[in-house]
Amino acid sequence: QVQLVQSGSELKKPGASVKVSCKASGYTFTDYAMNWVRQAPGQGLEWMGWINTNTGNPTSAQGFTGRFVFSLDTSVSTAYLQISGLKAEDTAVYYCVRIPGYWGQGTLVTVSS
């Protein structure tokens, strides 16, 4: 069965970087794109963008360019989300999502001094 297992919660200081992983299993990793979704505390879902797992080409939504980088390691069927220059407003749960709708369990990133 399709499973997406994300890395554990992170506590970071402002200005630091974080890398969230999403390990896929139960299907051929390169057959489906991987999406990333953010959910700030008490807020709705925001689509951040996606990465083509065949070519590695990323597409970012408005507001998620520059500091947000999507990457892959196809040898271990894993997608990554790296956020640099963390700000307090980056505090959120980050989800990886595979169409048609398989979700990772989410990774809480907390940014606090």
Partner 1 sequence: QAVVTQEPSLTVSPGGTVTLTCGSSTGAVTSGHYPYWFQQKPGQAPRTLIYDTSNKHSWTPARFSGSLLGGKAALTLSGAQPEDEAEYYCLFSYSGSWVFGGGTKLIVL
Closest distance of CB 113 from partner 1, Å: 26
CA nearest to 98, candidates 45, 37, 38: 37
Strand partners, 59: 50
Q: One-letter amino acid identity for 85?
A: G
In the complex, which residues of this chain contact partner 1 (CB under 8 A)?
A: 35, 37, 44-47, 50, 59, 61-62, 95, 99-106
Q: Which is nearer to partner 1, 16 or 45 (CB)?
A: 45
Residue 103 pairs in a beta bridge with: 97
Q: Smallest distance from the beta carbon of 19 to partner 1, in angstroms?
A: 20
Shortest distance, position 49 Cβ to partner 1, whole Å = 8
